[in-house]
Amino acid sequence: KNELHQVAQQASNILELIEVVRFSLSLMHKQWSEVLTIFHEKFRSLSSLIVDH
């Protein structure tokens, strides 16, 4: 019975860990998306500046 409890405890710890990893990944993805969007906007204005001159 004690062994079963340990297994259940480990499983719930793993699930918590997975949730933390998923949350971190989605946060990182969001930040990268914002960075890339900003980069593209800056690059677009730079390239049109170059083309215009």
Q: Determine the distance from the C-alpha atom of residue 49 to the mean position of all C-alpha atoms in its chain, rounded to a whole number.
A: 33
> Which pLDDT does position 46 carry in this prediction?
85
Compute the distance between CA of residue 3 and CA of residue 11 in angstroms, rounded to an integer: 12
> Which pLDDT does position 40 carry in this prediction?
93
45 vs 37, 39, 52, CA distance in Å?
A: 12, 10, 10
- The reported pTM is 0.61
Q: HSE (CB half, 13 Å, CA atoms) of 9? A: 6
What residue ranges of the chain have pLDDT lower than 50?
none
